[in-house]
């Protein structure tokens, strides 16, 4: 190997070590590694292109290390751009409650990790066999979040298994992942062999998917952390009293409290129900809801915001509909009433709060105690904390007002747009069908879907900008540049040839080594790059051994599609990195055994199904 390959090897080892020890964010570490290789490549070019070093002749030297163009190419990669645009599509689904509309009848309301995983992994794996993995993960991210909150389940127990299940489903058919299509295309264009039919890989892919899902359900219980977002459920002085009304003819009518998901909400307690002028205290979980029931809850701000977004419930005050601002320009605010506020000593209704401030009071917090009576009847006191629905400019306009001690915006609190749920869902379905069956490029379909989400106001422009997870995109872009360095420096090919040469003429050992190398390369470079690198090695190996090529091609397809051990082994791994609250070591713990389990299933079944 040349010095370039050795440098790349050292940088990759240092990067993996730094990621494992969490010395900094994954985006910063990957960017730093790429910067080192980029700088070395530019110095190499400058030295070798110097006229003095070339007898006075100016020559153009192409370094084996990535240059500016190579590094920038990673950030312009269509896969990276697709992930970025899909963040906008996902936000449209969240803001309209579209996924809940469809998945709630299918998934129900699981209360345990095992039940949630069983109900989640089957549809994800099945859909991924026919549709692109990335939109499938995008579709089910809000579902995982919803299940976590309503079932009081740690998100870290759901997001990674869901993303891994999508990867497992992708190897069940030839159209399940782009890697299968790439390898099938190479087989047809670079050899005399015919391409595989759609279900050929299923002989290995379906057993891999079954074994993988079983492993995820059994092993994630011990190998994934129980990491939950910080909710100040106890000891929070802001225990809000909030009144909600069941929409007549809505999806909650006829369901009992348990079925409606209103029991055991984190940080929220259903105090009583008012029905036809009568109060039902100590509400049983089996009481069935009726239209126009008024429900009184006490709880923390995070859960009150979730309650406001629940389909079938609306604020108990009609003042919300009278706020002079379109839904897309509204948000929730917290305001602490000052002693100078002219409404102190008056109730909210008689003080005409909405008329004076163009804001509707959703809930009130006072010294951590429940405030009896309806929202409109609450007499305001200095120090009360009000949860308001108002125009987004409310905080700016009233920040320096003497009426309030403090005004602050509540993050991710835009009112739900349930009326656009079917529209958002329709856009997603059209996007998936267009990419899966009409040959439309994934990026083009995602861009159109994202733009239509904004145009139809399923999501606002501001929400679209805020939805993009920039650290994830930087990590993907830098990782693609590092993968390019592995290729151009010759490190990947050198290591592959050396290791394959060590196994001797035994076809089974050669198959194991081919799979192992494909698996390792997938963790370090992109899945398609790993497939392209390993394909000629696999074909040459089968030719030199004079054995059936099919097991080797299948090993490439499966190994290049399965990247579980690192967050950047596959782009869907990175999509769930933040929402699941994961660390680099979480992927190592759950992913490495899964990688080897897939290798075991493939190298045992492939020679049996397609004998050497």
Mean pLDDT of 257-286: 78
The per-residue pLDDT for 1 is 66
Distance, in Å, from the CA atom of 367 to the CA atom of 363, rounded to the nearest integer, reads 14
Q: What is the largest CA-CA distance in the chain?
A: 99
Give the contacts of 176 (CB within 8 A, at least 6 positions apart): 128, 129, 130, 133, 169, 170, 205
Query: What pLDDT digit, counting tens, does each position of 180-204 carry?
Result: 777 777 777 667 788 788 788 899 9
> Could you tell me which of 410, 409, 401 has the C-alpha nearest to residue 343?
401
Is the pLDDT assigned to residue 490 strictly greater than 80? no
- Looking at residue 203, its pLDDT comes to 93
CA 606-608-612 angle, 5° bins: 80
Percent of the chain exceeding pLDDT 70 equals 85
Give the per-residue pLDDT at 232. 43
- Residue pair 245/315 in contact (Cβ under 8 Å)? The answer is yes
In angstroms, rounded to a whole number, what is the distance separating the alpha carbons of residues 294 and 194?
67
* Higher per-residue confidence, 510 vs 236: 510
Query: Taking residues 526-547, what's their average pLDDT?
Result: 76
Count of helices and strands (H, E) across the chain:
23, 9
Q: Is residue 107 pLDDT above 80, yes or no?
A: no
Residue 39 clears pLDDT 60, i.e. is over it: yes
Q: Rounded to whole angstroms, what are the CA distances from 419 to 79, 143, 312, 327, 456?
A: 32, 19, 11, 11, 11
Per-residue pLDDT, 597: 96
d(CA 360, CA 325): 11
Domains of the chain by residue range: 78-173+195-228+419-474, 240-299+312-409
**CATH class of the structural domain 240-299+312-409:** alpha beta
Least confident of 385-394, 398-407, 470-479: 470-479
pLDDT of 330 higher than 70: yes
Instruction: Band the pLDDT of 20: cuts 50, 70, 90.
Output: low
CA distance 17 to 196: 40
pLDDT reported for residue 234: 43
| Residues 190-219, mean pLDDT to the nearest whole number | 88
Contact 74, 484 (CB under 8 A): yes
The pTM (predicted TM-score) of the whole model is 0.66
Residue 235 has pLDDT above 50, yes or no: no
Element (H, E) at 360: strand 359-365
DSSP, collapsed to helix, strand or coil, labels residue 314 as strand
The 10s digit of each residue's pLDDT in 560-594 is: 888 898 887 777 888 888 888 888 889 999 999 99
pLDDT of the residue at 41 = 72
% of the chain residues with pLDDT over 90? 12
413-439 mean pLDDT: 80
Q: Please state the rounded mean pLDDT for residues 479-508.
A: 72
Chain-centroid distance, C-alpha 562: 18
Average pLDDT over residues 363-371: 78
pLDDT at 596 over 90: yes
Burial label, 326 (beta-carbon count in 10 A; 0-12, 13-18, 19+):
exposed
């Amino acid at each position: 190997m040349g010095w370039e390959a050795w440098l790349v090897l050292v940088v990759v080892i240092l990067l993996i070590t730094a990621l494992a020890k969490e010395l900094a964010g994954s985006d910063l570490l990957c960017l730093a590694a790429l910067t080192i290789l980029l700088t070395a490549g530019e110095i190499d070019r400058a030295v070798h292109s110097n006229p003095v070093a070339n007898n006075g002749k100016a020559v153009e030297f192409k370094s084996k290390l990535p240059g500016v163009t190579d590094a920038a190419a990673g950030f312009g990669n269509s896969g990276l751009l697709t992930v970025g645009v899909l963040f906008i599509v996902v936000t449209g689904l969240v803001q309209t409650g579209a996924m809940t509309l469809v998945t709630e009848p299918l998934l129900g309301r699981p209360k345990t990790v095992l039940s949630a995983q069983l109900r989640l992994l089957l549809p994800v794996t099945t859909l991924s066999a026919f549709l692109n993995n990335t939109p499938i993960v995008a579709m089910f991210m809000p579902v995982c979040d919803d299940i976590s909150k309503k079932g009081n389940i740690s998100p870290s127990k759901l997001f990674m298994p869901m993303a891994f299940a999508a990867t497992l489903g992708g190897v069940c058919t030839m159209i399940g992942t782009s890697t299968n299509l790439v390898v099938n295309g190479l087989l047809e264009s670079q050899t005399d062999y015919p391409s595989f039919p759609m279900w050929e890989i299923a002989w290995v892919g379906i057993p891999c998917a079954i074994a993988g899902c079983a492993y995820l359900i059994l092993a994630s219980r011990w190998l994934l952390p129980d990491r939950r977002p910080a909710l100040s459920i106890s000891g929070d002085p802001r225990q809000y009293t909030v009144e909600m009304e069941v929409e007549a003819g809505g999806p909650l009518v006829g369901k009992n409290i348990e079925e409606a998901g209103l029991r055991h909400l984190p940080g929220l307690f259903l105090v009583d129900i008012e029905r036809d002028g009568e109060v039902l205290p100590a509400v049983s979980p089996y009481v069935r809801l009726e239209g126009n029931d008024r429900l009184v809850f006490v709880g923390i701000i995070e859960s009150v915001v979730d309650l406001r977004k629940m389909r079938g419930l609306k604020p108990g005050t009609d003042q919300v509909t009278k706020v002079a601002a379109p839904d897309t320009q509204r948000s929730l605010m917290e305001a602490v009433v000052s002693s100078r506020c002219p409404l102190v000593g008056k109730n909210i209704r008689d003080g005409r709060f909405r008329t004076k401030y163009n804001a509707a009071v959703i809930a009130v917090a006072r010294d951590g105690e429940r405030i009896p009576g309806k929202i409109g009847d609450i007499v305001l006191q200095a120090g009360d904390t009000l949860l308001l629905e108002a125009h987004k400019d409310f905080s700016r306009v009233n920040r320096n007002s003497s009426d309030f001690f403090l005004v602050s915006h509540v993050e991710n609190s835009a009112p739900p747009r349930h009326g656009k749920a079917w529209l958002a869902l329709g856009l997603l379905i059209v996007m998936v069908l267009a990419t899966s069956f009409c040959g439309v490029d994934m990026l083009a379909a995602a861009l159109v879907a994202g733009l239509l989400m904004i145009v139809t106001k399923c999501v606002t422009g501001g929400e679209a900008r805020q939805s993009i997870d920039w650290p994830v995109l930087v990590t993907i872009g830098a990782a693609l540049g590092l993968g390019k360095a592995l290729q151009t420096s010759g490190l990947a090919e050198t290591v592959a040839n050396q290791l394959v040469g060590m196994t001797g003429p035994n076809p089974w050992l050669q198959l194991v080594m081919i799979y192992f190398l494909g698996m390792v390369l997938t963790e370090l470079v992109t899945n398609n790059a790993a497939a392209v690198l390993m394909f000629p090695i696999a074909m040459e190996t089968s030719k030199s051994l004079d054995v059936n090529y099919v097991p080797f091609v299948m090993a490439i397809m499966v190994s290049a599609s399965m990247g579980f051990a690192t967050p950047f082994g596959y782009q869907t791994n990175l999509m769930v990195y933040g929402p699941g609250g994961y660390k680099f070591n979480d992927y190592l713990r759950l992913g490495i055994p899964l990688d080897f389990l897939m290798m075991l299933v493939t190298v045992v079944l492939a020679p049996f199904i397609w004998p050497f």
